[in-house]
Structure 1
Amino acid sequence: MKTLVICSGGLDSVSLAHIVADQHQLTRLVSFDYGQRHRKELDFAVAAARRLNVPHHLIDMRPIGAALTGSALTDDIDVPDGHYAEDTMRLTVVPNRNAIMLTIGFGIAAANGDAAVATAVHGGDHFIYPDCRPAFTQAFETMQRAALDGYADVRLHTPFVERSKADIVRAGARHDTPFAETWSCYKGGALHCGRCGTCVERREAFHLAGIADPTRYADPDYWVTALAEREGN
């Protein structure tokens, strides 16, 4: 199946690109610059496209991102530290981000004769990000069928939507994903900070998967403290 992958350059989407390349016909990677402070993730998407020998489409969404105010990913708001928790990680929501990106992805897929758009939304994001939940992905695919009716038949491929990030690490490892060549940290510094929610989640995922984490963190042990605080210990 000819499949386009929405690829941020993060662990999840780069793993998905490698899996699709092995199991389907990977046609292209599509990434978005929406003014995120961790824009360096896009360099890892470019590298993934080169490694997998497919075209890379970088969509400039900065004017749109500038209008989607209120997120720590795009505004001058501190990215919260600690494990994902609703009261803090709501600051990292960019409203309708996935809906906008997927809409563009479906347009590109339809224009190029691709049969599917793959995105790496996963179960760990459900309680924070509404556009990562199964209800959203199912409704979105239904909407796109109506939008492209009579022009193209493009499916939405979400293999991780009911799975954990540890599951993604295991699957990515089976398909030789070079995890060191992915970027997760929302702060976008020289190294992964080790303290923000996505760094803690990344470190925990490798631990739960039983796979060595090649990531260099500025604070490599903070995740243990963050998990203990979450559990109230």
Structure 2
Amino acid sequence: MNIFDLFLETNILVQISIFILIGFSVLSWSIIFHRIFVLSSAQRKLKVFENEFWSGIDLSSLYQKAAAHRNKLNGAEQIFYVGFKEFSKLYQTKHCSPETMMSRTLDSMHTAINTELKSLEDYIPLIGTIGSISPYLGLFGTVLGIIHVFIELGKTTATNNVATQMIHMQIVAPGIAESLISTAIGLFVAIPAVIAFNYLTTQINNMDQDYHNFIEEFITILYHQIFFNIDSALNKENQYEEKAYQKHD
């Protein structure tokens, strides 16, 4: 079976639907490869930043390093930058409780996470749409082709010559097979698109979980830093009061 010859023998409506499906296939594969590259890059950058974050580097130094290339930040580094910036601003503000400080820092990092996930999800819904409508578009082309075939069959069977009818049926009937090419191409486009959509969606969900795990760990460190400083301040104040009391005695 020569697919190309069958395609050339189909009617113009079926050919149009096949051309649309081929365009969908090229578009979906382009998006798939691009999104896989973007997600792989995001996962790699997350691991690199987490290794640096847990290397024992001072958070202020890490923040200054991130601020040096502010316009190029993305992923976990961007989330860290936004969170630490908000925390530093609130920490220097008087009469700001630790609970308020942590709540607003978390809100800023959650907003940064949503922005990062939105950039990762670009064009992925389009892959899902292509995977959903391609079989129907292929079926639509097949239906148009079969309608055309049965119209031709109706014309040939209008004659009374049985031999002529059989000859014409042998010529027209293969048009049904030609029309089914549209359905086959529709499935060929849809199956990879659906698989890629599910895979990429799973990877994005994993990235979402990794980002939230990071901010949970980061906010815990900030909590410790706040209460450590508060305890240090209280200890200094108590020591000052004890010295003053001893001096008074």
For the aligned pair, the TM-score class normalised by the smaller chain equals: under 0.3
| Higher helix residue share | 2
TM-score where L is the length of structure 2: 0.25
| Higher strand residue share | 1
Higher relative contact order (CA 8 A, sep 6+): 2
TM-score where L is the length of structure 1: 0.26
Structure possessing the higher radius of gyration over alpha carbons: 2
